[in-house]
Amino acid sequence: MDGIEGASNPTMEEMQANGTEGVDGLPLTSTSTRKNRPIVSGEPLDIEAYAGLYTGRTKIKRLMFIANHCDNPGMQLEALRMAYDEIKKGENTHLYREVVQKIDGRLGPNYAMDAAWGSTIERKAEQRKEKLESELNAYRTNLIKESIRMGYNDFGDFYYAHGALGDAFKSYVRTRDYCTTSKHIIQMCLNAILVSIEMVQFSNVTSYVSKAEQTPEALDPPIVAKLCCAAGLAHLEAKKYKLAARKFLEVGPELGNSYSEVIAPQDVATYGGLCALASFDRTELKNKVIDNINFRDFLELVPEVRELINDFYSSHYASCLEYLGNLKSNLMLDIHLYDHVETLYDQIRNKALIQYTLPFVSVDMRMMADAFKTSVVGLEKELEALITDNQIQARIDSHNKILYARHADQRNATFQRVLQTGNEFDQEVRAMLLRSSLLKYDYNLRASRKH
Amino acid sequence: MNSVEGLLTQIRGLSSTASDVLSLQNVLKQADESLHAESTRLLPFLDQLDPSKHSLGYLYFLEACTAGPVTTESASSFVLIIARFISSCVAEQIRLAPDKFISVCKRFKDQVLLLEEPLRGVAPMLTAVRKLQSSTEHLTTLHPEFLLLCLLAKCYKTGLSILEEDIFEVDQPRDLYLYCYYGGMICIGQKCFRKALELLHNVVTAPMSTINAIAVEAYKKYILVSLIHHGQLSTSLPKYASGVAQRNLKSLCLSYMELANSYNNGKIADLETYVQANMEKFGSDNNLGLVKQVVSSIYKRNIQRLTQTYLTLSLQDIANTVQLNSPKEAEMHVLQMIQDGEIYATINQKDGMVRFVEDPELYKTCEMIEHIDLSIQRLMTLSNKLTVMDELISCDPLYLGKAGRERQRFDFDDFDSVPQRFNI
């Protein structure tokens, strides 16, 4: 796994060449050396730039996901082409066959099935596997812990490169018995986490993250950042948006591009920002997101997300929702976020509605509908749902289209509760006395029968 | 014949003081069989006895007379005789022979039903109940008979008057089940759904060793009344319900549980189709009226939910949300609910708007204070009663014997053998 990290550097220069001025003439920040068009934005996705953020298997997977879910045939073919090129650099024949099938000859003869390449790779794979096996057996007979560990690790790398994820996971986990230092354990955990994320088994991810965090030695900041990202992803999958947001916000700037085989810093910003917006309350949002210096660097990479968070906080709901609408099509192409987009958007919209009505005693629904760019009827339905759910304490005057805040009358409610409790007590005690009389009768009957 | 004459003289002679009456009772017990043997010829002798003075004797004679099968001609004459007897007899004397009295009254009920005039039996039965009860908290076997007559004669108010009293002592469990079941039906008839729910709940959760048909029928009505009154049904019986009830009741009332599920889903159309499909089943249980009330209550539930969300709402919108056919229907429903006191609202016919208001009860009036005060007093007496009963049971030798056998043993001394019986 260590060799792939260097691959991200050439793409950085590539991206610098794309655009020398920032978006909307944004001034350069001293921390980021890249001034380029933001990749996650409202415009149609620039696939090359997007794919440039990632390396390894996740790059291929993401490209294929985009090809599957994209409507635009041009973008589809672009994605498939890049996927093909990337796969050819690796050794995964299974994915190769898949991609060729998807391309279906639309990209010309260069991108057709190269059976020769396929069989060469497979032969090489067989040879390598035999070699690894014999080496491993030798090490096992010699009982040198370090070599056995390296052997299993190499096996894991081999299986991973060839797409046999289950075997890769098993091999990585086997190294556990032969780990001697915390560094080894951390390496094993990171490998296991990577394979689990690819296999979409996030329960394993959480357990290995906690295992890694429990090592007695202090961890390097990049590794801490990686673990935070992995944990955040696991929470996102489990729909625990608040925990996911907290984890993503803890990721330090040391992450850089070091985890490009899983996640890019833009993703950290997007996921963290959206989850925070959907689940945090106002104070938490201010403290942990807006005033968070570390996270600010991440947000610079996705200025639209930064803008929309600021708009939400300063109650410019129309523009906030507009940004969200623009981002939606691109977010639906993200492999981790796509099935959470709807839920997150609904939650953000509901929070906006609630926040709008909070400071007022009465609200003109026509103005509110304008602020949210919706019709009065639609707004009424949404508000009704929120009121029934007890998230807004208000009542709707449907005739004049005004929303009135309503505060529960504690005194009346107390009296009602008191009377009700009294009645219940009365009923229950009488029923109890009645039942005990029946039981006594029954007992006496049985006792008299015995004598 | 002579024995009967002799008996008559003894009755007339020994009916004046309490001790005499006790010896008379022994005599009568011994003569009982001979009386039964001559049951057909005893009728003329009844005229020689005065029911108000010689109640016990009269009772024995009457019981022997009515022992045979009931026919329509004999029924009409006997009904008059028994009614007169019940109204004039002396309570203390008949309490010495309660089963005889009960059997006479049951016969009375059968005769009245045979003549198809249950109304004639209501008042006498009420008197009978009052005379047999040792206290107003005592449930006799005649209570359910009385309620049955009330139900058949459709005079629910009289039945309600008996139901108002709290019952704490029970002779036979079967009496209680029937009493609560009939009582529940009377309350449903008078639309006192809260009390009906309480009575039916008592039947369903009463201790029973085997499941009985009364409990099953009561549970069916309980489900329906619970839906009408509360809008929901708690899915499990409380812990103190008997094990047999918890295990078996639901499976015996499946179509009603389905109805409750369908109601909870809130879709009126589904509910109505389900009811249509199962019409005969509900009809055969005589629950069709209740089921129709359940269906209409779902509209009420939905309108009530609207009062929580809206201050004013147009009738058209109400009709749409609650799935009624037209604003006119919505207006009828809302009007009915306002009259019943289920919601607080005003209808503005000019705009076609309904304005919902808060409950105007301010809890500041003298009547309310008095009501609260009375409730507190009542609950205090109830609490005292509970404490007294607890103390009584703690002193009960049977309880002590059982508790003693099963108590915790922490010390060597605890292993002393506990006396199985207290010989005091």
Q: How far apart, in whole angstroms, are the C-alpha atoms of residue B204 and residue B221?
A: 10
Contacts for A63 with CB less than 8 Å, ≥ 6 apart: A47, A51, A79, A80, A82, A83, A86
**pLDDT-based confidence at residue A39 (cuts at 50, 70, 90):** low
Alpha-carbon gap: B218 to the closest alpha carbon of chain A (Å): 16
Q: Give A-chain residues touching B361 at CB under 8 angstroms.
A: 412
Which domain range does residue B381 map to?
Answer: 361-394
Average pLDDT over residues B82-94: 83
Please tell me whether residues B390 and B354 are part of one structural domain: no
What is the per-residue pLDDT for A22?
A: 39
Q: What are phi and psi of A402, to 5 degrees?
A: -125, 145
Please tell me whether residues B31 and B47 are part of one structural domain: yes
Average pLDDT over residues B107-132: 85
Tokens representing B109 are 């009920």
What is the per-residue pLDDT for B88?
A: 84
Q: Is the pLDDT of residue A36 over 60?
A: no
Q: Is the pLDDT of residue A145 over 70?
A: yes
Please tell me whether residues B227 and B371 are part of one structural domain: no
Compute the mean pLDDT over every residue in chain A, rounded to the nearest whole number. Answer: 83
Q: E strand or H helix at B112, and its extent?
A: helix B98-114
End-to-end CA gap in chain B: 51
Please tell me whether residues B294 and B376 are part of one structural domain: no
Average pLDDT over residues A229-243: 91
What is the per-residue pLDDT for A29?
A: 41
Q: What is the largest CA-CA distance in chain A?
A: 106
Which of A314-323, A347-356, B161-170 has the least mean pLDDT? B161-170
Tokens representing B270 are 């589904």
Tens-digit pLDDT profile for residues B342-378: 888 989 888 888 888 887 788 888 998 999 999 999 9
What is the per-residue pLDDT for B7?
A: 78
Beta carbons of A398 and B207 less than 8 Å apart: no
Average pLDDT over residues B28-44: 77
Residue B406 belongs to a domain: no
DSSP assigned state of B343? S
Beta carbons of B207 and A437 less than 8 Å apart: no
Instruction: Give me the residue from B207, B353, B386 closest to A435, CB to CB.
Output: B207
What is the per-residue pLDDT for B414?
A: 63
**pLDDT-based confidence at residue B316 (cuts at 50, 70, 90):** confident
Contacts for A173 with CB less than 8 Å, ≥ 6 apart: A188, A192
What is the per-residue pLDDT for B184?
A: 92
Please tell me whether residues B2 and B112 are part of one structural domain: yes
Query: How many residues can be counted in chain A?
Result: 451
Please tell me whether residues B109 and B246 are part of one structural domain: no
Residue of B nearest to A444 (CA): B398
Residue B365 belongs to a domain: yes
Q: Is the pLDDT of residue A43 over 80?
A: no
Please tell me whether residues B55 and B111 are part of one structural domain: yes
Q: Is the pLDDT of residue A28 over 80?
A: no
Please tell me whether residues B289 and B346 are part of one structural domain: no
Q: Is the pLDDT of residue B170 over 60?
A: yes
Q: Give A-chain residues touching B170 at CB under 8 angstroms.
A: 434, 437-438, 441
Q: How far apart, in whole angstroms, are the C-alpha atoms of residue B179 and residue B142?
A: 9
Residue B119 belongs to a domain: yes
Q: How far apart, in whole angstroms, are the C-alpha atoms of residue A196 and residue A204?
A: 6
Residue B403 belongs to a domain: no
Q: Which of A252, A256, A179, A171 is nearest to A211 (CA)?
A: A179
Percent of the residues in chain B that have a pLDDT greater than 70, as a whole number: 95
What's the structural domain count of chain B?
A: 4
pLDDT greater at residue A188 or residue B12: A188
Please tell me whether residues B253 and B291 are part of one structural domain: yes
Q: How far apart, in whole angstroms, are the C-alpha atoms of residue A104 and residue A112?
A: 8
- Domain positions in chain A are 241-348, 362-405
Q: Is the pLDDT of residue A426 over 80?
A: yes
Beta carbons of A435 and B386 less than 8 Å apart: no
Cross-strand bridge partners of residue A403: A363, A396
Is residue B174 packed enough to be buried (19+ CB in 10 Å), middle (13-18) or exposed (0-12)?
middle
Q: Is the pLDDT of residue A2 over 50?
A: no
Q: Give A-chain residues touching B375 at CB under 8 angstroms.
A: 419, 422-423, 426
**Residue A403 CA: distances (Å) to CA of A392, A398, B172, B348:** 10, 8, 60, 20
What is the per-residue pLDDT for A231?
A: 92
| CA dihedral sign, ordered A412, A418, A424, A426 | negative
Q: Is the pLDDT of residue A421 over 90?
A: yes
Q: E strand or H helix at B420, and its extent?
A: none
Residue with tokens 């492999």: A335
Q: Is the pLDDT of residue A15 over 50?
A: no
Average pLDDT over residues A45-56: 85
Compute the mean pLDDT over every residue in chain B, rounded to the nearest whole number. Answer: 83
Q: Give B-chain residues touching A419 at CB under 8 angstroms.
A: 372, 375
| CA dihedral sign, ordered A376, A378, A379, A380 | positive
What is the per-residue pLDDT for A275?
A: 92
Q: How far apart, in whole angstroms, are the C-alpha atoms of residue B300 and residue B322?
A: 9
Average pLDDT over residues B124-141: 85
Q: Is the pLDDT of residue A109 over 80?
A: no
**pLDDT-based confidence at residue A16 (cuts at 50, 70, 90):** very low
**Would you list which residues of chain A are within 8 Å, Cβ to Cβ, of chain B?**
384, 387-388, 395-400, 404, 409, 411-412, 415, 418-419, 422-423, 425-427, 429-439, 441-443, 447
Q: How far apart, in whole angstroms, are the C-alpha atoms of residue B235 and residue B413?
A: 48
What is the per-residue pLDDT for B183?
A: 92
What is the per-residue pLDDT for B181?
A: 92
What is the per-residue pLDDT for A130?
A: 92
pLDDT greater at residue B419 or residue B201: B201
Long-range contacts: A129-135, Cβ < 8 Å, 24+? Answer: A129/A158, A132/A158
Alpha helices in A280-409 (DSSP H): 282-284, 293-301, 303-313, 317-331, 341-357, 365-371, 376-388
Q: Give A-chain residues touching B166 at CB under 8 angstroms.
A: 430
Residue of A nearest to B139 (CA): A434
CB atoms within 10 A of CB B49: 21
Residue B258 belongs to a domain: yes
Please tell me whether residues B122 and B189 are part of one structural domain: no
Instruction: Give me the residue from B305, B313, B385 closest to A433, CB to CB.
Output: B385
Q: Give B-chain residues touching A396 at CB under 8 angstroms.
A: 309-311, 313
Q: How far apart, in whole angstroms, are the C-alpha atoms of residue A381 and residue A370?
A: 15
Average pLDDT over residues B308-320: 87
What is the per-residue pLDDT for A13?
A: 41
**Tally of CA atoms within 13 A in the half-sphere of A222 that contains its CB:** 9
Percent of the residues in chain B that have a pLDDT greater than 90, as a whole number: 9
Residue with tokens 């916000």: A249
End position of a domain, from candidates B318, B335, B360: B360
Please tell me whether residues B52 and B26 are part of one structural domain: yes
Q: How far apart, in whole angstroms, are the C-alpha atoms of residue B138 and residue B126?
A: 14
Contacts for A286 with CB less than 8 Å, ≥ 6 apart: A313
What is the per-residue pLDDT for B421?
A: 53
DSSP, collapsed to helix, strand or coil, labels residue A362 as strand
What is the per-residue pLDDT for B185?
A: 92
Tens-digit pLDDT profile for residues B369-386: 999 999 999 999 999 999
Q: Which of A157, A152, A128, A122 is nearest to A3 (CA)?
A: A157
ipTM score of complex: 0.82
**pLDDT-based confidence at residue A5 (cuts at 50, 70, 90):** very low
Tens-digit pLDDT profile for residues A376-394: 999 999 998 899 888 888 8
pLDDT greater at residue A385 or residue B33: A385
Residue B410 belongs to a domain: no
Tens-digit pLDDT profile for residues B44-64: 777 777 777 778 878 888 887
What is the per-residue pLDDT for A142?
A: 87
Is residue B279 packed enough to be buried (19+ CB in 10 Å), middle (13-18) or exposed (0-12)?
exposed
What is the per-residue pLDDT for A38?
A: 65
Q: Give B-chain residues touching A412 at CB under 8 angstroms.
A: 359, 361-363
Beta carbons of B359 and A412 less than 8 Å apart: yes
